[in-house]
Amino acid sequence: MLNNVLLKYIDAYLLIFGEINTHVMMQKFDICRAKASRVFTIYREGRPTNMRYDSSRKCYVKGFVFEPIHLKDESATRFLAAIDTVFTD
């Protein structure tokens, strides 16, 4: 279940901010770097055109062809707000 939430989070975060990295995931969900990396791998396997790794910025950036596949019809803003409510620091 957590993987589904993390995959939706990547969709929403990319839609709103245009980039994401493992540090964001680690801080928000209190997961280790290896878990965050695995989730990014799963995400990229499902839709490789949605994001690409920018080594100079050390983050994944939203791809030119982007279609949220996990968020579906949910509002990215509302989803991120709900996550902030549940996963507060």
* pLDDT tens-digit series, residues 38-78: 999 999 999 999 999 999 999 999 999 999 999 988 899 99
Q: Note the pLDDT of residue 2.
A: 78
Q: Which fold has domain 1-67+74-86?
A: Arc Repressor Mutant, subunit A (1.10.10)
pTM of the model: 0.92
**Average pLDDT of the residues of the chain:** 93
Could you tell me if 71 and 11 are in contact, meaning their C-beta atoms sit under 8 angstroms apart?
yes
Convert 3-30 to b/e letters by CB count within 10 Å (16 or more is b).
eebbbbbbbbbbbeeeebbbebbeebbe
| Whole-angstrom distance, CA of residue 12 vs CA of residue 68 | 8
Helix and strand numbers (H, E) in the chain are: 4, 3
pLDDT at 53: 96
Q: Does the pLDDT value for residue 89 go beyond 80?
A: no
Domain map (residue ranges) of the chain: 1-67+74-86
Q: Identify each DSSP E strand in the chain by its residue range.
A: 19-20, 51-54, 59-62
